[in-house]
């Protein structure tokens, strides 16, 4: 099962992708998480990506495609994968199609997650992330037990730099201009079913809708 979760910042791709992977035994491949890990480790990739991420702009396609190819090669041809935050441009989608073909596998489904800008902005303003273990909280809807501290590993939580209001606005614009056209790109391919899931519902309800979309894909 190879699935793409496509949707604007804050719609819940990370939250739902992790839950789906736990339930279905799939690999969660988040390009945002891979880039943030590279930044923490201070690798050349991380340094290259930093300025783009801080401005809310997309990291160049060749950097992203190389990173994803490497990850897929490590996972092997039999892994089921949930892509979160990739592809984000038509060239990335074309590169993914070529990579999957080389691996002898194919894309099963594209899930388009939706929510109004008001919901997205509020979620991102309330998001707190653990830089050590990757747990994600929200001060409005899913706060940690102890304010500012990760309940999983005890590290201090952070508000992502790209979650400040001006950068969020830029990320929403970038999504509309460069990533939303992918919906039409996939809708033009009859072999790849595209399904829409309302991401503004409660976490559990979004997950139920997502799993039902997965069952239809089999
Ligand atoms: P990335 O990390 O991929 O950011 P994004 O796509 O903007 O998505 P987010 O992580 O902000 O949101 P999400 O949809 O995962 O929501 P979440 O589940 O966390 O990318 C960051 C940057 O890296 C990019 O700007 C770019 O620079 C670069 N990059 C990454 N991939 C790239 C690529 N392919 N090409 C080029 N550049 C790339 O939820 C958000 C909050 O809401 C959380 O607090 C959560 O707890 C809460 N929440 C979630 N669901 C619900 C719900 N149903 N109800 C209530 N609260 C909820």
Choose, from 18, 88, 109, 123, the residue flagged as catalytic: 88
In the reported structure, the alpha carbon of residue 124 is separated from the centroid of ligand 1 by a whole-number distance in angstroms of: 8
Residue whose Cα lies nearest atom 1 of ligand 1: it is 32
Choose, from 18, 39, 109, 160, the residue flagged as catalytic: 160
Atom of ligand 1 nearest to the CA of 200: 53
The whole-model pTM stands at: 0.96
Neighbouring residues of 206: CB distance < 8 A, sequence distance ≥ 6: 12, 16, 113, 197, 198, 199
Neighbouring residues of 88: CB distance < 8 A, sequence distance ≥ 6: 31, 58, 64, 178, 179, 182
Q: What is the DSSP string of the chain?
A: -EEEEE--TTSSHHHHHHHHHHHHT-EEEEHHHHHHHHHHHT-HHHHHHHHHHHHTPPPPHHHHHHHHHHHHHHH-TT--EEEES---SHHHHHHHHHHHHHHT----EEEEEE--HHHHHHHHHHEEE-TTT--EEETTTB--SSTTB-TTT-PBPB--GGGSHHHHHHHHHHIIIIITHHHHHHHT-TTS-EEEEETTS-HHHHHHHHHHHHHHH-
pLDDT in tens, the chain (218 residues): 999 999 999 999 999 999 999 999 999 999 999 999 999 999 999 999 999 999 999 999 999 999 999 999 999 889 999 999 999 999 999 999 999 999 899 999 999 999 999 999 999 999 999 998 989 999 999 999 999 999 999 999 999 999 999 999 999 999 999 999 999 999 999 889 999 999 999 999 999 999 998 777 54
- Degrees to nearest 5, angle at CA 26 with 188 and 82: 30
- Is 202 part of the annotated catalytic residue set? no
pLDDT the model gives residue 195: 94
Atom of ligand 1 nearest to the CA of 199: 53
- Is 123 part of the annotated catalytic residue set? no
Residue whose Cα lies nearest atom 5 of ligand 1: it is 9
In the reported structure, the alpha carbon of residue 181 is separated from the centroid of ligand 1 by a whole-number distance in angstroms of: 18
- Is 39 part of the annotated catalytic residue set? no
In the reported structure, the alpha carbon of residue 24 is separated from the centroid of ligand 1 by a whole-number distance in angstroms of: 21
Residue whose Cα lies nearest atom 21 of ligand 1: it is 32
In the reported structure, the alpha carbon of residue 82 is separated from the centroid of ligand 1 by a whole-number distance in angstroms of: 14
Alpha-carbon separation of residue 199 from 42, 90, 115 (angstroms): 34, 23, 5
170 contacts 158 by C-beta, under 8 angstroms: no
pLDDT the model gives residue 191: 87
The two three-digit tokens of residue 86, written as one number: 């990739």
Rounded to whole angstroms, the Cα distance separating 70 from 6 reads 21
Tell me the domains of the chain and their CATH numbers: 2-115+180-217 (3.40.50.300)
């Amino acid at each position: 099962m190879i699935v793409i979760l496509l949707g604007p910042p804050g719609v819940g791709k990370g939250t739902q992708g992790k839950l789906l992977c736990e339930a279905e035994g799939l690999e969660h491949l988040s390009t945002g998480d891979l880039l943030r890990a590279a930044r923490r480790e201070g690798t050349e990739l991380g340094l290259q990506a930093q300025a783009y991420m801080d401005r809310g702009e997309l990291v160049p396609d060749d950097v992203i495609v190389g990173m994803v190819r490497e990850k897929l090669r490590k996972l092997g041809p039999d892994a089921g994968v949930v892509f979160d935050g990739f592809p984000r441009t038509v060239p990335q989608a074309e590169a993914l199609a070529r990579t999957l073909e080389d691996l002898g596998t194919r894309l099963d489904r594209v899930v388009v997650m939706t929510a109004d800008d008001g919901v997205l902005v509020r979620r991102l303003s309330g998001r707190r992330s653990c830089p050590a273990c990757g747990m994600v909280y929200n001060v409005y809807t899913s706060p940690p037990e102890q304010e500012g501290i990760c309940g999983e590993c005890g590290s201090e939580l952070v508000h992502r730099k790209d979650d400040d209001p001006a950068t969020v606005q830029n990320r929403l614009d970038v999504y509309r201009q460069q990533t939303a056209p992918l919906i039409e790109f996939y809708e033009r391919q009859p072999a790849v079913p595209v399904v829409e899931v309302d991401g503004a519902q409660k976490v559990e309800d979004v997950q139920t809708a997502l799993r039902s979309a997965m069952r239809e894909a089999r």
